[in-house]
């Protein structure tokens, strides 16, 4: 095992003792083996809603990518990239709103939902994730597009904008500070270090996957509660998309890949380009985010030449789902000025 992974695994297990093991033991005493039971589910009807578009697949960068497309194919392309633990459906409110004026495409990134799930941590280094986006856009027959992303999708999008600025006409990020600003905060701010505890925990093998599957994927109940999502069918849609060990493993591998030799080499190779993003950028940030601090969102201006930060007071990390009307309005205003 590589040095970065060894250090990560050791720290992850140390962190897991108070954060996870105790809770797991308590729940196991109460529920027995049922603590790991996941209910068998069928696909909820909301995932097949024709108002959200047509489900399609494309071979990209050696894998099959699933995406949903809506709107007129002759109109400008707007590509949505989801975060963790999410999938294309997290953009449902934006798809319905922007399909009137754009060709909207919401993808499942590799490892998620209906996209291919190649095995191996290095399959999920940022270089591959960036090339997946580029390949999908080129496969759609487009050379320039608007890129909209949230959370982990934001990390991918920052890198796409750094490497292929000529392709990205507008960059819209929801709750993910510029990756270098976030790195700065993780090194200098105890608050951000504590908020990022799960990134260390995710370096452990197996345990994080079991933790996320516990009690019928109970973690999703908390996420939906934070997002103030009361529709039970939406919760079922998320649990359907994350119903197995493999999907959780692939999503968590995004975090593990950050500290592999290939992941670290790629980060080093792109740092210069990341330090000066030229694409005009809108960052929408919910200040109620439990995982990311406001300071790193504000500090992102240091790394972006044309940076507009819009704060939604008290809104959670799941900003585009909790406050879709506000997010859509901010996006409209920003895009009208392009």
Active site positions, annotated: 151, 255, 317
Q: How far apart are CA 164 and CA 3, in angstroms?
A: 31
* Residue pair 191/184 in contact by the 8 Å Cβ criterion: no
- Taking alpha carbons only, the member of 72, 71, 91, 73 closest to residue 81 is 91
- The residues near 331 (Cβ < 8 Å, ≥ 6 apart) are 94, 98, 148, 172, 282, 284
240-252: b (≥16 Cβ within 10 Å) or e: bbbbeeebbbbbb
* Residue pair 102/71 in contact by the 8 Å Cβ criterion: yes
β-sheet with 77-81: strand ranges across = 54-60, 63-70, 103-107, 77-81, 145-150, 168-174, 281-286, 307-312
Q: How far apart are CA 287 and CA 199, in angstroms?
A: 20
């Amino acid at each position: 095992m590589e040095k970065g992974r060894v250090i990560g695994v050791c720290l992850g297990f140390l962190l897991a003792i108070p954060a996870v093991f105790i809770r797991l033991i308590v729940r196991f005493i109460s529920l027995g083996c049922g603590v790991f039971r996941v209910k068998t589910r069928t696909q909820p009807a909301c995932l097949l809603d024709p108002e959200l578009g047509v489900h399609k697949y494309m071979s990209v960068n050696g894998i099959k990518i699933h995406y949903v497309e809506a709107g007129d194919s002759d109109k400008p392309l707007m590509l949505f990239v989801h975060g963790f633990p999410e999938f294309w459906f997290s953009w449902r409110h934006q798809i319905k709103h922007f399909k009137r004026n754009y060709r909207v495409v919401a993808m499942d990134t590799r490892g998620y939902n209906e996209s291919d799930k190649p095995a191996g941590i290095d399959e999920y280094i940022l270089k591959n994730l960036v090339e997946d986006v580029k390949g999908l856009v080129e496969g759609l027959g487009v050379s320039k597009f608007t890129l909209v992303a949230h959370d982990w999708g934001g990390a991918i999008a920052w890198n796409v904008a750094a490497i292929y600025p000529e392709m990205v006409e507008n960059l819209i990020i929801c709750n993910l500070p510029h990756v270098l600003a976030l790195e700065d905060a993780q090194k200098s701010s105890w608050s951000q270090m504590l908020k990022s505890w799960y990134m260390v925990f995710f370096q452990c093998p197996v345990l994080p996957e079991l933790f996320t599957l516990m009690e019928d994927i109970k973690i999703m109940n908390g996420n939906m509660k934070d997002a103030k999502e009361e529709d039970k069918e939406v919760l079922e849609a998320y649990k359907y998309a994350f119903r197995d060990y493999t999907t959780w493993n692939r999503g968590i591998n995004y975090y593990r890949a950050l500290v592999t030799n290939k992941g670290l080499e790629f980060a080093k190779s792109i740092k210069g380009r990341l330090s000066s993003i030229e694409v005009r950028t809108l960052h929408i940030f919910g200040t109620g985010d439990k995982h990311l601090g406001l300071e790193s969102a504000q500090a992102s201006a240091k790394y972006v030449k044309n940076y507009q930060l819009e704060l939604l007071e008290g809104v959670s990390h799941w900003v585009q789902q909790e406050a879709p009307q506000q997010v859509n309005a901010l996006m409209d205003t920003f895009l009208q000025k392009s």
